[in-house]
């Protein structure tokens, strides 16, 4: 005799899949002072970006094994740390200068959307998924990142303490990187800061890590994708940044926003920030359903995708302002 088993449908969490390109190329991640410098600054940026975009496309084609690679482009505007001008004024300028360099921006994103997208507290949710990697030989003396807002890629130097009577002071020890190769490159990353009123400001590296997870199609909220591209309205771009969706699809013929791999072409002043991004990604427990979907689809398409999320991210840093 077979017994029937009844289960709540809600007991089986469903992770909604997202379309995936082979590569997401970030054409820029500039701040308001870059826009304030005028069209010439944007012109210089895109002129330096163009050759590397061509190289990234060629590399994607080589990995695709003769098939047409799906490649999308994106651009991130900082409206989180500072507000300058308006979307109605800046976005057309941005698109015009990209077009002048022979580039097409498929998707435009607001950095504030990496903190809160609609009603979803994205940054807070990602922060809750941080699982620190304890350095070998550590004894839990370091407060957790959830308490301090700091995340390291190894063991910090011990805090100097006054010696007890008849005891010597502790000898200084250097910080050590957990996965060091002969010598350590130790990094301690500030994830956020809280002001006296309790308002939390997320750091640039942490929001950049959220941005990378979004581009890799690995962010979910109760199983639903967090960043869903929205088309521009018939009225054009608004005068207020808060009226602009977190992610806009500017090119209706664009390949999907999310991708198996990402490549960001950035000024070299972003190098320290992106080093910090890797430290954060290496210690973030990504949604397992989303990871499984990417693995299953890449296997069906015979596309090689690194197991490490951080290894799916690549960069080109160009010299300049």
User: What's the rounded mean pLDDT across residues 10-19?
Assistant: 76
Whether pLDDT at 321 is above 60: no
Q: Which of these, 209, 254, 237, 240, lies nearest to 105 by C-alpha position?
A: 254
Q: pTM for this structure?
A: 0.90
Collapsing DSSP states into helix, strand and coil, what is residue 214? helix
User: Mean pLDDT, the chain, as a whole number?
Assistant: 89
pLDDT in tens, 111-154: 999 999 999 999 999 999 999 876 665 555 677 888 889 999 88
pLDDT in tens, 288-304: 999 999 999 999 999 99
**Tell me, what DSSP letter sits at residue 225?**
E
User: What's the rounded mean pLDDT across residues 171-175?
Assistant: 81
Q: How many whole angstroms separate alpha carbon 64 and alpha carbon 67?
A: 5
User: What's the rounded mean pLDDT across residues 250-270?
Assistant: 96
Question: 26: which 2 tokens?
Answer: 């970030």
- Under the banding of pLDDT at 50, 70 and 90, the label for residue 97 is very high
- Under the banding of pLDDT at 50, 70 and 90, the label for residue 180 is confident
Q: What is residue 137's predicted lDDT score, i.e. its pLDDT?
A: 58
- Higher-pLDDT residue of 313 and 233 is 313
Burial class (CB in 10 A: 0-12, 13-18, 19+), 82: exposed
Largest CA distance in the chain: 79
User: What's the rounded mean pLDDT across residues 91-108?
Assistant: 96
**Dihedrals phi, psi of 104, to nearest 5 degrees:** -120, 125
Domain boundaries, the chain: 17-128+196-318
- Under the banding of pLDDT at 50, 70 and 90, the label for residue 102 is very high
- Under the banding of pLDDT at 50, 70 and 90, the label for residue 10 is very low
Give the least confident one: 127-131, 167-171, 228-232. 167-171
């Amino acid at each position: 005799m077979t017994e029937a088993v009844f289960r709540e449908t809600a007991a089986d969490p469903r992770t909604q899949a997202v379309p995936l390109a082979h590569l997401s190329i970030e054409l820029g991640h500039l701040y308001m002072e870059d826009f304030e410098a005028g069209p010439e600054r944007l012109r210089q940026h895109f002129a330096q970006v163009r050759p590397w975009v061509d190289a990234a496309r060629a590399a994607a084609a080589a990995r695709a094994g003769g098939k047409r690679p799906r490649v999308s482009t994106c651009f991130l505007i900082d409206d989180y740390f500072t507000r300058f001008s308006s979307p109605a004024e800046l976005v057309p300028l941005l698109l015009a200068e990209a077009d002048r360099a022979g580039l097409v921006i498929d998707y435009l994103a607001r950095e504030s959307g990496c903190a809160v997208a609609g009603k979803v507290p994205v940054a807070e949710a990602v922060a809750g998924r941080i699982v620190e990697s304890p350095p070998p030989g550590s004894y839990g003396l370091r407060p957790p990142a959830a308490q301090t807002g700091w995340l390291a890629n190894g063991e910090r130097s011990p805090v100097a303490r006054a010696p007890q009577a008849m005891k010597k002071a502790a000898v200084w020890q250097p910080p050590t990187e957990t996965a060091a190769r002969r010598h350590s490159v130790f990094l301690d990353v500030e994830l956020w800061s809280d002001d006296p009123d309790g308002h939390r400001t997320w750091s640039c590296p942490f929001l950049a890590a959220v941005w990378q997870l979004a581009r890799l199609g690995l962010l979910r909220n109760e199983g639903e994708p967090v960043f869903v591209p929205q088309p521009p309205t018939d009225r054009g771009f608004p005068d207020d940044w808060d009226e602009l969706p977190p992610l806009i699809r500017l090119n209706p013929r664009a390949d999907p926003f999310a991708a198996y791999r990402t490549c960001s072409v950035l000024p070299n002043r972003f190098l320290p920030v992106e080093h910090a991004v890797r430290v954060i990604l290496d210690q973030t427990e990504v949604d397992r359903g989303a990871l499984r979907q990417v693995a299953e689809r890449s296997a069906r398409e015979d596309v090689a995708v690194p197991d490490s999320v951080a290894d799916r991210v690549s960069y080109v840093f160009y010299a300049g302002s």
